[in-house]
Every structure is written in structure tokens, then in C-alpha cells.
Chains A and B, each alone.
Chain A
Amino acid sequence: MASLSLVNVCKTFKNGQVAVKDFNLDIRDQEFLILVGPSGCGKSTTLRMIAGLEEISSGELWIDGELMNLTDPQKRDLSMVFQSYALYPHLTVYENMAFSLRVRNVVKTEIDQRVRKAADVLCISHLLDRKPHALSGGQKQRVAIGSAIVREPKAYLMDEPLSNLDAKLRTQMRVELSKIHKELGATIIYVTHDQVEAMTLGTRIVVMNSGVILQAAEPKVLYQNPVNKFVAGFMGSPSMNFIPVWVERREDRICVEFSKNRLFVNEECAKRLIDGDYVSRRVYLGIRPEDLHETGLKDQELKLNVEIKEVLGSEILLHGKIGRSQVCARLKPDFSSEAGKEASIFADMSRILLFDMDTEENILYR
């Protein structure tokens, strides 16, 4: 396995479009690193630059202490799993998995041993004689991963490998991928736009937007302590509610006010707001749907005009408005509420985030 470093990496396409800007990142050995971001943020381009499929316009790529900018893809000793699986349709599963080893002139007995071992790990031993067209989406995905792992490369690159699978299979494959990562002790760089995949799989997540890294942190840290409004909104499903509020001093305490609602903030939060000179200014209040509860203190109460109620079985999602702001609340299934009526919900003030109106940075970032 290997460690990788990207130093000031930039990618500018021929038409002048800048895909990646000043990308700096150290990827540690055996790390499951997730590159996440909206479509067109440069995550796939970054992965393709690491693989050698795209030239690096400027900057450096180091793999295990060796500069790799001009090294051909076949000499980087990496393997990649594509979104479209990229299985060779005229070869059987066995031949597909053995292909990279045959190209490298590995002896037949070793090829056989490695292919069968990988097939066992992925539970596809019974499919070895089939051709890709006779496989289901999930099976193709396993074969693609199998083709990658038989080579025992320095690192695995995965470009949205689960996005073609249905929801159930995707959940199943997520678990399998986690297991494989633990079993192989592999360095994996994984690209996705699905934040659930990012949160469940990664040991570290890199959130990108418009070609730059916004934040690189462990999933829990990223969720609880996002650097700005974009990251806070991107991580979590349903996403965080953002409400424009006024910061005011009332009864010698600091509170946020919006649409006849007043919420008092805790001491640490108040200190940050005073230190940052936010009193009497507008900021964004960020609160996650799961931090809005059915019960709470009177001074945390908010009146939600319910527009849509989504029953998910284990929970309900109430979509509606507080004043002019659109809000979503995740509540227990027995909470009584109807679309078109008003519901009382309570904000957990210890979990709120506040964002600067202009820079959109997290005022409470630690």
C-alpha cells in the first residue's frame, strides 16, 4: 500500500476551463479517502489526474515519495474501478479479473490463485465462467472490484462505483466495500457525489466545490463542525436548514430573532458573536432537521406551518415554513401533525451553527 501527496495541483482544460485549483492533500497509507462534491466540482478530474488519465497542468503528484506527474498510467501501479464497471465484454469473469496480471506476465498458477482468492472474498466464485452480459449490476460491480484487487496495487481509485446500482444494492455494496477496505488494509481514494456514501465509507472526507478543497476532515468532524455554509448544507440528508436571523441583545443575553421568533443562544455562542461584532447584524442560523424536536423549553419553541408530511416509517419529515424560511424537521413517527396546520417544534440550541452573511463562514468553527 502507499501514501500519496498532491502539491499545488491544478488542471486547466484546453478550452481554458479550470477544473481543479491549487489542490493540496496528503493521503495516508491505508486511508479510505472520499472526494465529495456536487457535479462539476473537479473530484473526478482529480482522481483521473492521480490515475494518469488526465495530465496535471501544474503542481506535483507524489506516490510513495516518487514524483509521478509524467509517469504513464500503467506504470503507476494503481487500479481503478469505473462508474460504468469497464468490464471487457468478450472476456469471462475469470479472464476479466486475470487480464491485468496476464498483461504483466504473472505466471499462470499465481494468476489462478489470486483470481480465485479475490472471487472468494467477493462471493463471485460461481460466476467465473460467465461473460459480463450475463451478470446483474451488483455482480458486475463485484467483478470490477475483483479485477482491481487481484493486482494488489499501491492504491485503489474508485470513481462513483455504486452510482449505477439500485438503492438496496448500493447499501449492501457499501458494507462490502467497508469490509474489503478493512480486510485488505488498502489505500482507497473514492469519488462520489452521494454524501451518505461519503459519511458511511470514508475515514476522511474531502469536500470540493468549483475545483477547490473546502474542507478535509473525518466524517463526524465534518458533520458537526463544517467550515462554511456550503459544507454544512452538503453533508447531511435532508440538508441543514438555513434561516436568516438578526443577532440581538435582549434581557442582557444574546439571541437570534426572525419572523417574531426569538431563540437565546448559549454562552459560548454568545461570546463568539460578541467577539466577532455580530450583534445587531444579520447571520444565517443553521440547524439540522434532527435537531428540531417534538418537546423542549418554551424559549426554544418555533411554529412550523406544515406544507408536506413525509412518513418514512421509523420517522417523519415535516416540510414547511417558519416565517418566510423553508424548514425541514425530522421527528418521531407518532408526532401528530397535518399538512396545512401549524406544529410546535423545539430547536436544540446546543447544536445550532451560525454563518456569516457575507463570507458564509462558520462563526462557531473550532
Chain B
Amino acid sequence: MESVISRAVKDISREELENLKREALKKALFRRRATKLALTGMNLLMALFLLLPLLYAVSIALMPSSELFTMSMNLIPTTPTLDNFRQAMVKIPLTRFIVNSFVVAGCITAGQIISCSLAAFSFSFLDFKGKNLLFMLVMATMMIPGEATIISNYLTVSGLHWLDSYKVLIIPYLTSAMGIFLFRQFYKSFPISLYESARIDGCTNLRFIYSILIPLTKSAIGAMAVYTFINAWNMYMWPLLVTGSDKMRTVQIGLGMLDSVDSQSISMMIAGVVMIIVPSISVFILGQKQLIRGMFSGAVKG
């Protein structure tokens, strides 16, 4: 049977057909490019709108105070200066605070990844009595707000003479129910036959974790690391309560110290903020691929 296309082609010449094809392609290409351009423009506008507070903060940090307190709207500094950063560094030992925050956040991240992944491994791969009950108990701890236990925790650590030390900042946060839950969810989508195969191949549980599980759940670990690091970096209440000396303060407390009544300078404070958000933004930018992949792993088949 003659097809519709071959019948239509018969009625026009070859050249006409070529022209028609070329025109149709041109139109389609124009439509595609126009859509892409419009979308990119909208995305750029939205990004600018969302990033405006951050960009304005950077701008203020580079602005002398005289430029900030004027009647005109100064979005961009006319005479950019690093004085605010210098002042912030002099006013408080910010370098020490940043180092402290790095040590604390780094140790908490490492500790949580190790403890949570091991706990989640037991809940996902091992079979023992009361497994579900224990898991529910762990999950139940998520229902208690941190503020409710902060006094009793304070009394415990002060009883142990841990106050004003790295120990007190790190040890209470070495594991988290949320971390265990997240890892368990990742492991649930892990094929159990790989674990069984590894066991028959002669693997112990630890060898399996080290040789198979960790390399195959890198994205989950990355996501967890970024999430934990940022949370630990932003901790405020606990470090404020358990540290007293400048030696042990973290950056978030340091930032509060810039806001004293006798030396209030908005531009200096913003310079401090810019300095301390740089590490957490860097961690996010470096780990965002892992974070997104980890957060959505198992959401779609692939």
C-alpha cells in the first residue's frame, strides 16, 4: 500500500521538498534556541534575586563605614577596602576560632560517618533479636529537641570535668539518629545478594564494609559528610554553653563577640560573617554533586 508521505512527495519536485525540509528545520531550531534563551534569562534573574543578600554582604564587607551610612543607595563600594576584615581579625582571634571550628566540625563529621554507617549496617544487613525495637528507640531520640536535654548534658560533662575542651565539643556529637536513619535508607536500596556473595567469598563484616560497601556508597557518605560538616560548623548553643575561653571558642560564638555594644561596626561584623561562611560554602560547592546524588539515590531507577 502507498504511504501518505510517498503520495505527498509525488506531487512536488525534489527541490521544493528540500526547501520545505530546510525551512521546517530552521523554524524548529529557532524555537528551541528561543526557549533555551528565555529559560537561561529567567534562571539568571532568579539566581540574582536569591544571591542578592549574599552579594550585598560581600559588598558591605568591602565598603568603608563612611560609604555605608549615607542617604544614597550604595550597592557596590566606590572605594573597596579590606580594612573591615583586618579589624575583625584584630578584634577577636578569628583564626583560632576558625581552626577550632574546623577541628570540631571535622572530627564530628568523621565520627558520625563511622558510627552512623556501622550502626546502619547492623540495622540493614544483620539479623538479631529486637532489631526493629532498637531501631525504633534510636529513631525516638529524634523526637526529643536538643534544648530539652541541654541542661542535663551540661551537668554530665561538667561532672566529667570536660568543660572548655575539644572533648566536650566533639564527643556528644559523635553519632546521630538522623545519620543512622539516612545511612539505613541508603543501605536499604543496596542489593543484599552482594553482601551474601561477599560472605560466601570469605569476607568478614568489616572487610565487606571496607572493600564493598564504602566504595559503593560514596555518594551517601559524601552527602552525609556535607550535611554533618555544615551542621557542626553552624553549632551555636552548645559551644556557647560549654566553652569559656577564647582558646576553645568556635566561629559562630566569635561572630557574636563582634557585636559588642562598645564597638559596634556593621561593616566589620559583615566582614566576619563573610569570612566564616566561606568554609561552609566551599564545603557545599565541593560536595554538592555528592549531596544531590546521595539525597536522590534510590528515588529513580537507574
Contact = CB atoms under 8 A, between A and B. Distances in A.
A100 B201 contact: yes
B215 A90 contact: yes
B203 interface: yes
Interface hub of B196, B197, B199, B211 (most chain A Cβ within 10 A): B197
Contact of B194 (A74, A86, A100): A86
Give the top 6 A-B pairs by smallest Cβ distance, nearest first.
A100-B201, A86-B197, A103-B202, A86-B193, A74-B202, A73-B199
Contacts of B199: 52-53, 72-74
A150 B265 CA distance: 72
A86 B196 contact: yes
A230 interface: no
Contacts of B215: 90
24 contacts: A51-B196, A52-B199, A52-B200, A53-B196, A53-B199, A53-B200, A74-B199, A74-B202, A74-B204, A76-B200, A78-B200, A79-B200, A79-B201, A80-B200, A86-B191, A90-B216, A99-B211, A100-B201, A103-B201, A103-B203, A103-B207, A103-B211, A104-B202, A147-B201
B55 interface: no
Given A52-B199, A80-B197, 7 more contacts: A74-B203, A82-B193, A82-B196, A83-B193, A99-B211, A100-B202, A103-B201
Interface hub of A78, A88, A104 (most chain B Cβ within 10 A): A88
A89 to B, nearest CB: 7
B237 interface: no
A53 B199 CA distance: 9
Interface string A33-54: 0000000000000000001110
Interface string A48-63: 0001110000000000
Contacts, number: 56
Interface string B58-69: 000000000000
A84 interface: yes
Contacts of A147: 201
Interface in B174-220: 191, 193-194, 196-204, 207, 211-212, 215-216
Interface hub of B196, B204, B211, B212 (most chain A Cβ within 10 A): B196
Interface residues of A, number: 23
A86 B199 CA distance: 12
A100 B203 CA distance: 8
Contact of B193 (A73, A84, A89, A99): A84
B200 A51 contact: yes
Interface in A242-260: none
